[in-house]
Amino acid sequence: MPAPASITAAPVTRRAALTGIGGAIGATILASCAGPRGLAPAPAPLALPIDPTADLAPDLVDLARFDPRFRFDIRYATQANFMGRVLYPLPRAVAQRPVAEALSRVQTRAEAQGYGLLIFDAYRPWRITRMMWEETPPEKREFVADPRTGSRHNRGCSIDVTLHRGGTEVVMPSPYDDFTPAAYRSNIAAPAQALELSRMLEAWMVAEGFVPLANEWWHYDWAEWRRYPIMDVPLEAVTAR
Ligand SMILES: [Zn+2]
């Protein structure tokens, strides 16, 4: 333990501690800065992660304008979501241009079979991902992205989507954002028709370049998501064309 006398003898400034003056007190300060392993843990504010592999500039498009055939139920702009409160100030879906183009092709495939796409979520500002993480109990965090690495939604490369038929949402293996194993693609306990619809959507999405997420039947990532940066532009401030 540091001698209390050293505190009263001379105030230890942060600079003094970092340059070694103050001995053990300096070590304590450094440890607490380092995070949970410190003697006096204090959560460090999370910063927007920068992915050095992202080599493409964002080119976000507004999905409603891009393809008027899409339908939307932007749950995070309502209270009908797992957080139980409004997270988005407006019901808006934006995504990177190649993602929107691929989604249009999926819409065409769906229409040929009498269905259409119903989109729950697309680009999500990083600050919302951080809020979801901080407010989700640890045992449920497999369903929310760690803000230290960011979500693929933060890159404008993920789409949460289901199908509708004549404007009526189809029944899928679980409700959207159902944070239980019922949402897993490996869930075979769901009604046969729900499984069939989920697999049909999956086949169309995969055919157009999306990668399905194993534990959420509604979530798809654009195959080239790593090439886009993690973004924190608020939804209302996105200048999407
Ligand atoms: Zn998602």
- The class of domain 60-237 in CATH terms is alpha beta
- Output the CA 218–ligand 1 centroid distance in Å: 7
Is residue 210 within a helix (H) or strand (E), and if so which, with residue range?
Answer: strand 210-212
Helix, strand, coil % (nearest 5) of the chain? 35, 15, 50
CB atoms within 10 A of CB 186: 7
Beta bridge partners of 212: 220
Q: What is the pLDDT of residues 74-109, one digit of tens each?
A: 999 999 998 999 999 999 999 999 999 999 999 999
What is the SS3 assignment for 7? helix
* CA 238/CA 123 separation, integer angstroms: 10
- Output the CA 21–ligand 1 centroid distance in Å: 49
- Output the CA 120–ligand 1 centroid distance in Å: 9
Q: In this structure, which amino acid lies at residue 82?
A: F
User: Between vectors from CA 181 to CA 176 and to CA 186, what angle results, nearest 5°?
Assistant: 100
* CA 72/CA 75 separation, integer angstroms: 9
- Output the CA 5–ligand 1 centroid distance in Å: 55
* CA 194/CA 62 separation, integer angstroms: 29
What is the SS3 assignment for 20? coil
- Output the CA 26–ligand 1 centroid distance in Å: 43
- Output the CA 124–ligand 1 centroid distance in Å: 9
Per-chain residues with Cβ under 5 A from ion ligand 1: 158, 160, 219
Tens-binned pLDDT, residue by residue, of the chain (241 aa): 333 333 333 333 333 333 332 333 333 333 334 444 445 666 677 899 999 999 999 999 999 999 999 999 999 999 999 899 999 999 999 999 999 999 999 999 999 999 999 999 999 999 999 999 999 988 888 778 999 999 999 999 999 999 999 999 999 999 999 988 999 999 999 999 999 999 999 999 999 999 999 999 999 999 999 999 999 999 999 987 6
**Model-level pTM?**
0.80
- Output the CA 153–ligand 1 centroid distance in Å: 6
Domain residue extents for the chain: 4-34, 60-237
* CA 39/CA 21 separation, integer angstroms: 19
Dihedral pair phi/psi, residue 118, rounded to 5°: -120, 110
What is the SS3 assignment for 141? helix
- Output the CA 144–ligand 1 centroid distance in Å: 9
* CA 171/CA 188 separation, integer angstroms: 15
For every residue of 77-116, DSSP letters joined together read GSS-STTSS--SSS---EEEHHHHHHHHHHHHHHHHTT-E
Determine if residue 136 is left, alpha or beta; phi over 0 gives left, psi from -120 to 50 gives alpha, anything else beta: beta
